[in-house]
């Protein structure tokens, strides 16, 4: 809970048995990270398999001279499907059971892998692996900060959300402008914003444990928390890849 007089986060007074509470919190956070890690692993496997399948590549992308020049109709559908899954999970949270929500999460991670299969073709495997490990180290440090800090990060929320909307709008505009400078600015801003969201979302997920007592709702909260951290990780990885990736 947040102490209004100091603006700091306090765990005191939220459970009668502190030891039981700490064990429950650790188990909850471990579940969140397990879901997130498994989702990223599934996405990576699907992306790798998709990039090595001529059938999948031809179904999703328009190829000219060995280069991807656009999406097919199916490719456009796959590209926008992850957004549909996120909306379905967010708005259908109260109607779905935790098991159904978990299945939707795995389906989302798999479709996300298909939509990201193009990066396996656009960038060298070495630069993808290097960027992945850099992202993992950065994400881990920021998430640990969000988990351990006693300072409330709630004030970051509005700023980060506005920055995220700005990135989305700028990215849409740059589709038509094709400006290298704007692309660089978007990538730099994206790294900062998703780095901040990693710490912010981690603390928010931790706070959710204090607010939910129903086991079914807690199971759902773990899946939605994993979804938020998954999106932070993937977007941070993609933004860093624009800086660190070597194109084929």
pLDDT tier, 18 (very low <50, low <70, confident <90, very high otherwise): low
CA distance 79 to 101: 21
Look at strands 61-64 and 8-9 and give their pairing.
Answer: unpaired
Domain ranges of the chain: 11-244
C-alpha triplet 146, 139, 113: angle, nearest 5°: 130
- Between helices 215-244 and 18-51, what is the axis angle to 10°? 50
pLDDT in tens, 168-223: 899 888 878 888 899 889 999 999 999 999 999 999 999 999 888 889 999 999 99
Task: Tell me how long the chain is.
Answer: 248
pLDDT in tens, 152-164: 998 898 899 999 9
pTM of full prediction above 0.85: yes
What residue has token string 């892998």? 113
């Amino acid at each position: 809970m947040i102490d209004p007089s100091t603006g700091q986060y306090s765990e005191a007074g939220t459970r009668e048995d502190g030891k039981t509470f700490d064990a429950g919190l650790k188990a909850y956070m471990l579940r969140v990270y397990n879901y997130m890690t498994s989702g990223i692993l599934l996405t990576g496997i699907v992306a790798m398999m998709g990039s090595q399948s001529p059938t999948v590549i031809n179904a999703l992308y328009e190829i000219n001279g060995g280069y991807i020049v656009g999406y097919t109709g199916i490719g456009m559908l796959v590209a926008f499907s992850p957004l549909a899954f996120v909306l379905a999970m967010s708005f259908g949270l109260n109607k779905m059971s935790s098991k159904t929500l978990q299945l939707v999460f795995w389906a989302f991670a798999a479709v996300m892998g298909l939509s990201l299969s193009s990066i396996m073709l656009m960038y060298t495997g070495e630069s993808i692996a290097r960027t992945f490990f850099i992202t993992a180290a950065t994400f881990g440090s920021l998430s640990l900060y969000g988990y351990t800090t006693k300072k409330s990060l709630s004030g970051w929320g509005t700023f980060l959300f506005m920055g995220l909307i700005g990135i989305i709008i700028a990215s849409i505009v740059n589709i038509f402008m094709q400006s290298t400078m704007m692309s660089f600015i978007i990538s730099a801003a994206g790294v900062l914003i998703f780095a901040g969201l990693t710490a912010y979302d981690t603390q928010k997920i931790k706070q959710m444990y204090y607010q939910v007592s129903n086991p079914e709702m807690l199971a759902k909260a773990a899946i939605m928390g994993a979804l938020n951290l998954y999106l932070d990780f993937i977007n941070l990885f993609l933004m860093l890849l624009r800086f660190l990736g070597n194109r084929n």
